[in-house]
Amino acid sequence: MSKLADYLISEESQLHEAALQAGIIKHNATIGKNREDILAEFLRKHIPTRLSLFSNARVFSLDDEESKEIDLLVINDISINFLNKLHMFTNVESVAAAITVKSYLDKAALYDCLENLASIPQMNNEVLKITNLFVSQYEAFIENYPTLFVFAFDGIRADLLEKYISDFYVANPKIPYNRRPKAIIVNRQCLIEKAGDKSETFNGQKNEKGTYIAGTTDVIFKGYPLAVMIRDIAEYVGWLSVMNVNFFHYFNRHFGGGK
């Protein structure tokens, strides 16, 4: 097994041990803050320096739509952030990733996570321009960002979660592809990935775009769920060189009366 795989397997174990020590897995209803702190500490060690992590934050759009409170929000270094002693909020064009965190992932907790992530408003192409070699990449960018994740320290079986995800989106078909999580991770248990354009998940199965396929973290794939989360967040940085964010539209809309 490679050095990287060994390292991430060790990180999985450390997350699990930290959760046990904090009492998260046994008493999941009372200590949400601890569970977020544990995952936040892991992410801060691994995300690129051009990204910052905030807890319990909200996201707003040019049209003044506002998300529900997001457990963990990853923000780029060209954003304007609004932070006071209790809360942080930022515009959606500045968000690289959003993560909801649960102690134990069952059907009710899963649905809460999916509704939470779906509340993140859409970006505006007046505010954000993505141009590479004079060709707009805006549509390709907004399809995948912010990257969305559900993370839990423990949970029900992967096959049940896979079924409940499918049931949820059948009942809520208006939730767009880009407001559905890239992956659902139950630490040391499973990874449930959303099929993209290539329609192929980590286990090599070909699937229709937008469907979810569960895989358990057996010996071969131990550590891989954490690799997926780190990789997908880090890849955002590659877009920063072609991003042009014009915050004027926000201030003009809210103070200058523009539309």
DSSP 232: H
pLDDT above 90 coverage of the chain, percent: 71
Q: pLDDT (tens digit, 9 = 90+) per residue, 149-193?
A: 999 999 999 999 999 999 999 999 999 999 999 999 999 999 999
How far apart are the C-alpha atoms of 24 and 39, rounded to whole Å?
A: 12
The pLDDT-based confidence of 33 (bands split at 50, 70, 90) is: low
**Domain count across the chain:** 1
How far apart are the C-alpha atoms of 253 and 73, rounded to whole Å?
A: 25
Which pLDDT does position 27 carry in this prediction?
A: 47
- The residue that leads in pLDDT, 53 or 23, is 53
Give the tokens for residue 208: 């229709």
Domain range holding 208? 3-256
Closest by CA to 14, choosing from 160, 188, 229, is 188
Task: Please tell me which of 83-87, 103-107, 252-256 the model is most confident about, judged by mean pLDDT.
Answer: 103-107
Tell me: pLDDT of 107 over 70.
yes
Tell me: pLDDT of 30 over 80.
no
Report the SS3 class of residue 105. Answer: strand
Length of the chain: 259
Contact 100, 109 (CB under 8 A): no
Count of beta carbons in the 10 Å neighbourhood of residue 106? 16
The CA-CA-CA angle for residues 31, 213, 34, to 5°, reads 10
Which pLDDT does position 100 carry in this prediction?
A: 97
How far apart are the C-alpha atoms of 178 and 156, rounded to whole Å?
A: 25
Q: Label residues 221-253 b or e (16+ Cβ within 10 Å = b).
A: bbbbbbbbbbebbbebbebeeebebeeebbeeb
Contact 78, 96 (CB under 8 A): no
How far apart are the C-alpha atoms of 233 and 212, rounded to whole Å?
A: 19
Q: pLDDT (tens digit, 9 = 90+) per residue, 39-52?
A: 999 999 999 999 99
148: amino acid identity, one letter? L
